[in-house]
Amino acid sequence: MKTLSVFNQKGGVGKTTATINIGAAFALMLSREADPDKEPGRVLIIDLDQQTHASVLLSGGFFGYHDASLGPYDNIAGLLMQETERPTAEIVVTANIPHGGRGRIDFIPSSKAKMARAENVLSAEPVDGLYRLREVLEPVTSLYRYAFIDNPPSLGHLACNSLIAASHVLVPIQLAAPALFSLSETIRTIQSIQRKHNHELQLLGILATMCDFRYQEHKEFYSALSQQYGDLLLPPITRLAEIEYASSEGLDIFSFKPGRRADVLASASRATQEYAHVAEIIRQRMDR
Protein backbone atom coordinates (compact mmCIF):
# COMPACT_ATOMS: atom_id res chain seq x y z
CA MET A 1 0.00 0.00 0.00
CA LYS A 2 1.43 3.35 -1.08
CA THR A 3 0.50 6.04 1.45
CA LEU A 4 0.38 9.77 0.76
CA SER A 5 0.38 12.20 3.69
CA VAL A 6 -1.21 15.52 2.72
CA PHE A 7 0.66 17.76 5.12
CA ASN A 8 1.26 21.40 5.93
CA GLN A 9 1.79 22.91 9.38
CA LYS A 10 -0.47 25.83 8.41
CA GLY A 11 -4.25 25.60 8.23
CA GLY A 12 -6.50 26.84 5.45
CA VAL A 13 -4.32 25.68 2.58
CA GLY A 14 -6.75 23.13 1.11
CA LYS A 15 -5.48 19.87 2.62
CA THR A 16 -8.89 18.23 3.04
CA THR A 17 -10.17 19.28 -0.38
CA ALA A 18 -7.02 18.01 -2.04
CA THR A 19 -7.15 14.73 -0.11
CA ILE A 20 -10.74 14.01 -1.12
CA ASN A 21 -10.45 14.99 -4.77
CA ILE A 22 -7.13 13.28 -5.42
CA GLY A 23 -8.38 10.18 -3.61
CA ALA A 24 -11.51 10.20 -5.77
CA ALA A 25 -9.42 10.53 -8.92
CA PHE A 26 -7.35 7.50 -7.88
CA ALA A 27 -10.49 5.45 -7.18
CA LEU A 28 -11.87 6.31 -10.62
CA MET A 29 -8.57 5.51 -12.34
CA LEU A 30 -8.41 2.12 -10.64
CA SER A 31 -12.03 1.45 -11.57
CA ARG A 32 -11.40 2.16 -15.25
CA GLU A 33 -8.29 -0.01 -15.34
CA ALA A 34 -9.86 -3.09 -13.74
CA ASP A 35 -11.12 -5.96 -15.88
CA PRO A 36 -14.93 -6.23 -15.90
CA ASP A 37 -14.82 -9.50 -13.95
CA LYS A 38 -12.42 -8.22 -11.28
CA GLU A 39 -12.80 -5.83 -8.37
CA PRO A 40 -10.92 -2.54 -8.78
CA GLY A 41 -8.01 -1.70 -6.52
CA ARG A 42 -9.12 0.07 -3.37
CA VAL A 43 -8.40 3.50 -1.90
CA LEU A 44 -8.35 4.33 1.81
CA ILE A 45 -8.55 7.76 3.45
CA ILE A 46 -7.54 8.41 7.06
CA ASP A 47 -8.80 11.60 8.73
CA LEU A 48 -6.37 12.85 11.39
CA ASP A 49 -7.64 16.44 11.40
CA GLN A 50 -9.40 17.35 14.65
CA GLN A 51 -11.96 19.31 12.60
CA THR A 52 -13.00 15.95 11.00
CA HIS A 53 -14.09 17.66 7.76
CA ALA A 54 -12.89 14.73 5.62
CA SER A 55 -15.00 12.31 7.66
CA VAL A 56 -18.02 14.60 7.39
CA LEU A 57 -17.66 14.90 3.61
CA LEU A 58 -17.09 11.17 3.10
CA SER A 59 -20.15 10.46 5.24
CA GLY A 60 -22.36 12.35 2.80
CA GLY A 61 -21.74 15.96 3.80
CA PHE A 62 -23.01 17.92 6.77
CA PHE A 63 -26.40 16.24 6.43
CA GLY A 64 -24.96 12.78 5.83
CA TYR A 65 -25.56 9.49 7.57
CA HIS A 66 -24.23 8.16 10.85
CA ASP A 67 -23.23 4.52 11.18
CA ALA A 68 -25.03 3.41 14.34
CA SER A 69 -23.07 0.14 14.38
CA LEU A 70 -19.90 1.99 15.36
CA GLY A 71 -19.34 2.85 18.99
CA PRO A 72 -17.87 6.11 20.37
CA TYR A 73 -14.31 4.75 20.18
CA ASP A 74 -14.71 2.88 16.89
CA ASN A 75 -12.78 5.50 14.94
CA ILE A 76 -9.21 6.56 14.25
CA ALA A 77 -8.92 8.19 17.67
CA GLY A 78 -9.96 4.99 19.43
CA LEU A 79 -7.50 2.98 17.36
CA LEU A 80 -4.64 5.37 18.10
CA MET A 81 -5.41 5.39 21.82
CA GLN A 82 -6.01 1.60 21.83
CA GLU A 83 -9.45 2.15 23.36
CA THR A 84 -11.49 0.10 20.89
CA GLU A 85 -11.65 -3.68 20.79
CA ARG A 86 -12.41 -3.72 17.09
CA PRO A 87 -9.59 -4.27 14.59
CA THR A 88 -8.92 -1.63 11.97
CA ALA A 89 -10.66 -3.55 9.18
CA GLU A 90 -13.95 -3.60 11.12
CA ILE A 91 -13.95 0.18 11.60
CA VAL A 92 -13.42 1.06 7.94
CA VAL A 93 -16.49 2.62 6.29
CA THR A 94 -17.22 2.77 2.55
CA ALA A 95 -18.19 6.19 1.20
CA ASN A 96 -20.73 6.76 -1.55
CA ILE A 97 -18.14 8.57 -3.68
CA PRO A 98 -16.85 8.82 -6.28
CA HIS A 99 -19.81 8.32 -8.60
CA GLY A 100 -19.36 6.93 -12.08
CA GLY A 101 -17.06 4.03 -11.33
CA ARG A 102 -17.05 0.64 -9.68
CA GLY A 103 -14.44 1.76 -7.17
CA ARG A 104 -15.34 3.54 -3.97
CA ILE A 105 -13.33 5.26 -1.29
CA ASP A 106 -13.06 3.55 2.08
CA PHE A 107 -12.24 5.69 5.09
CA ILE A 108 -11.47 5.35 8.77
CA PRO A 109 -13.89 7.77 10.46
CA SER A 110 -12.72 10.35 12.94
CA SER A 111 -14.25 11.86 16.09
CA LYS A 112 -14.07 15.55 16.90
CA ALA A 113 -14.65 14.79 20.58
CA LYS A 114 -11.86 12.21 20.77
CA MET A 115 -9.11 13.57 18.50
CA ALA A 116 -7.89 16.27 20.90
CA ARG A 117 -7.46 13.63 23.59
CA ALA A 118 -5.70 11.34 21.11
CA GLU A 119 -3.03 14.01 20.59
CA ASN A 120 -2.45 14.17 24.36
CA VAL A 121 -2.33 10.39 24.76
CA LEU A 122 0.19 9.96 21.95
CA SER A 123 2.39 12.78 23.23
CA ALA A 124 2.55 11.05 26.63
CA GLU A 125 4.17 8.05 24.92
CA PRO A 126 7.32 9.67 23.46
CA VAL A 127 8.54 6.50 21.69
CA ASP A 128 5.59 4.24 20.85
CA GLY A 129 3.28 7.21 20.41
CA LEU A 130 5.03 8.27 17.21
CA TYR A 131 4.54 4.91 15.49
CA ARG A 132 0.95 4.14 16.49
CA LEU A 133 -0.63 4.99 13.11
CA ARG A 134 1.84 2.72 11.33
CA GLU A 135 0.74 -0.09 13.68
CA VAL A 136 -2.95 0.71 13.11
CA LEU A 137 -2.61 0.55 9.31
CA GLU A 138 -0.39 -2.54 9.14
CA PRO A 139 -3.31 -5.07 9.23
CA VAL A 140 -5.00 -3.47 6.20
CA THR A 141 -2.01 -2.71 3.96
CA SER A 142 -2.70 -5.73 1.77
CA LEU A 143 -6.30 -4.60 1.17
CA TYR A 144 -5.52 -1.26 -0.47
CA ARG A 145 -3.44 0.01 -3.38
CA TYR A 146 -3.28 3.56 -2.06
CA ALA A 147 -4.00 5.43 1.16
CA PHE A 148 -4.30 9.17 1.76
CA ILE A 149 -3.95 10.90 5.13
CA ASP A 150 -5.58 14.25 5.88
CA ASN A 151 -3.60 16.05 8.60
CA PRO A 152 -4.25 18.60 11.34
CA PRO A 153 -3.12 22.20 10.68
CA SER A 154 -0.25 22.01 13.17
CA LEU A 155 2.79 19.97 14.07
CA GLY A 156 2.10 17.48 16.84
CA HIS A 157 2.13 13.76 17.45
CA LEU A 158 -0.80 13.17 15.08
CA ALA A 159 1.01 14.86 12.18
CA CYS A 160 4.29 13.11 13.02
CA ASN A 161 2.43 9.77 13.06
CA SER A 162 1.18 10.57 9.57
CA LEU A 163 4.63 11.28 8.19
CA ILE A 164 6.13 8.21 9.83
CA ALA A 165 3.38 5.96 8.43
CA ALA A 166 3.55 7.42 4.90
CA SER A 167 5.62 6.53 1.86
CA HIS A 168 5.12 9.97 0.26
CA VAL A 169 4.13 13.47 1.33
CA LEU A 170 2.29 16.19 -0.59
CA VAL A 171 2.40 19.80 0.63
CA PRO A 172 -0.60 21.97 -0.38
CA ILE A 173 -0.05 25.72 -0.12
CA GLN A 174 -1.81 28.99 -0.81
CA LEU A 175 -0.15 31.72 -2.85
CA ALA A 176 0.03 34.14 0.07
CA ALA A 177 2.94 35.34 2.18
CA PRO A 178 2.01 33.56 5.46
CA ALA A 179 1.49 30.23 3.67
CA LEU A 180 4.75 30.56 1.76
CA PHE A 181 6.60 31.35 4.98
CA SER A 182 5.21 28.17 6.55
CA LEU A 183 6.36 26.13 3.53
CA SER A 184 10.04 26.26 4.54
CA GLU A 185 9.13 25.20 8.09
CA THR A 186 7.00 22.36 6.75
CA ILE A 187 9.81 21.10 4.53
CA ARG A 188 12.26 21.24 7.44
CA THR A 189 9.84 19.09 9.46
CA ILE A 190 9.63 16.56 6.63
CA GLN A 191 13.41 16.43 6.40
CA SER A 192 13.67 15.88 10.16
CA ILE A 193 11.22 12.95 9.98
CA GLN A 194 13.18 11.52 7.04
CA ARG A 195 16.44 11.63 9.05
CA LYS A 196 15.13 10.37 12.37
CA HIS A 197 12.09 8.16 11.81
CA ASN A 198 11.23 7.35 8.19
CA HIS A 199 14.14 7.11 5.76
CA GLU A 200 11.79 5.94 2.98
CA LEU A 201 9.55 9.02 3.09
CA GLN A 202 9.63 10.94 -0.19
CA LEU A 203 8.59 14.55 -0.73
CA LEU A 204 6.36 14.03 -3.77
CA GLY A 205 5.45 17.60 -4.56
CA ILE A 206 4.08 21.00 -3.63
CA LEU A 207 0.53 21.82 -4.74
CA ALA A 208 -0.62 25.44 -5.02
CA THR A 209 -4.37 25.54 -4.32
CA MET A 210 -7.03 28.25 -4.55
CA CYS A 211 -5.00 30.09 -7.20
CA ASP A 212 -6.30 33.17 -8.96
CA PHE A 213 -3.84 34.32 -11.58
CA ARG A 214 -5.85 37.44 -12.29
CA TYR A 215 -3.89 38.79 -9.34
CA GLN A 216 -0.29 39.78 -10.03
CA GLU A 217 0.70 38.63 -6.55
CA HIS A 218 -0.35 35.05 -7.32
CA LYS A 219 1.62 35.10 -10.57
CA GLU A 220 4.73 36.34 -8.80
CA PHE A 221 4.47 33.86 -5.93
CA TYR A 222 3.96 30.94 -8.30
CA SER A 223 6.88 32.02 -10.48
CA ALA A 224 9.13 32.29 -7.43
CA LEU A 225 8.09 28.83 -6.25
CA SER A 226 8.74 27.40 -9.70
CA GLN A 227 12.24 28.85 -9.75
CA GLN A 228 13.04 27.59 -6.25
CA TYR A 229 11.46 24.13 -6.34
CA GLY A 230 11.41 23.20 -10.03
CA ASP A 231 9.63 19.93 -10.77
CA LEU A 232 8.51 19.60 -7.14
CA LEU A 233 5.93 22.30 -7.87
CA LEU A 234 2.86 20.61 -9.35
CA PRO A 235 0.40 22.25 -11.77
CA PRO A 236 -1.83 24.68 -9.84
CA ILE A 237 -5.43 24.26 -8.75
CA THR A 238 -7.56 27.31 -9.57
CA ARG A 239 -9.95 28.83 -7.03
CA LEU A 240 -13.34 27.82 -8.44
CA ALA A 241 -16.74 28.01 -6.75
CA GLU A 242 -17.74 24.54 -7.94
CA ILE A 243 -15.00 22.96 -5.78
CA GLU A 244 -16.59 24.49 -2.68
CA TYR A 245 -20.09 23.60 -3.88
CA ALA A 246 -19.05 19.98 -4.32
CA SER A 247 -17.70 19.79 -0.77
CA SER A 248 -20.88 21.30 0.68
CA GLU A 249 -22.88 18.59 -1.10
CA GLY A 250 -20.66 15.81 0.28
CA LEU A 251 -19.16 15.12 -3.15
CA ASP A 252 -15.78 15.09 -4.82
CA ILE A 253 -15.43 17.32 -7.88
CA PHE A 254 -15.64 14.37 -10.30
CA SER A 255 -19.01 13.33 -8.87
CA PHE A 256 -20.25 16.92 -8.80
CA LYS A 257 -19.21 17.61 -12.40
CA PRO A 258 -19.20 14.19 -14.10
CA GLY A 259 -18.09 13.68 -17.67
CA ARG A 260 -20.27 12.24 -20.41
CA ARG A 261 -17.82 9.45 -21.27
CA ALA A 262 -17.18 6.66 -18.80
CA ASP A 263 -13.62 6.16 -20.02
CA VAL A 264 -12.54 9.78 -19.42
CA LEU A 265 -11.73 11.02 -15.94
CA ALA A 266 -12.26 14.76 -16.47
CA SER A 267 -15.36 16.50 -17.76
CA ALA A 268 -15.70 19.92 -19.38
CA SER A 269 -15.27 21.37 -15.91
CA ARG A 270 -11.92 23.10 -15.44
CA ALA A 271 -11.76 21.88 -11.84
CA THR A 272 -12.02 18.22 -12.89
CA GLN A 273 -9.39 18.76 -15.58
CA GLU A 274 -6.92 20.30 -13.12
CA TYR A 275 -7.45 17.69 -10.42
CA ALA A 276 -7.28 14.85 -12.95
CA HIS A 277 -3.97 16.17 -14.30
CA VAL A 278 -2.48 16.58 -10.83
CA ALA A 279 -3.72 13.14 -9.74
CA GLU A 280 -2.12 11.49 -12.77
CA ILE A 281 1.24 13.11 -11.99
CA ILE A 282 1.01 12.14 -8.33
CA ARG A 283 0.22 8.55 -9.22
CA GLN A 284 3.16 8.36 -11.63
CA ARG A 285 5.47 9.57 -8.90
CA MET A 286 4.04 7.23 -6.27
CA ASP A 287 4.40 4.24 -8.59
CA ARG A 288 8.07 4.81 -9.47
The torsion region of residue 33 among left (phi > 0), alpha (psi -120 to 50) and beta comes to alpha
| CATH classification of the domain holding 211 | 3.40.50.300
Least confident window among 19-23, 58-62, 161-165, 258-262? 58-62
**Can you state the angle between helices 157-165 and 112-123, rounded to 10 degrees?**
80
pLDDT at 185 over 80: yes
Amino acid at 161: N
Q: What pLDDT does residue 105 have?
A: 94
Least confident window among 2-6, 57-61, 142-146, 219-223? 57-61
Residue 207 structural domain: 2-286
* Structural domain count of the chain: 1
pTM: 0.94
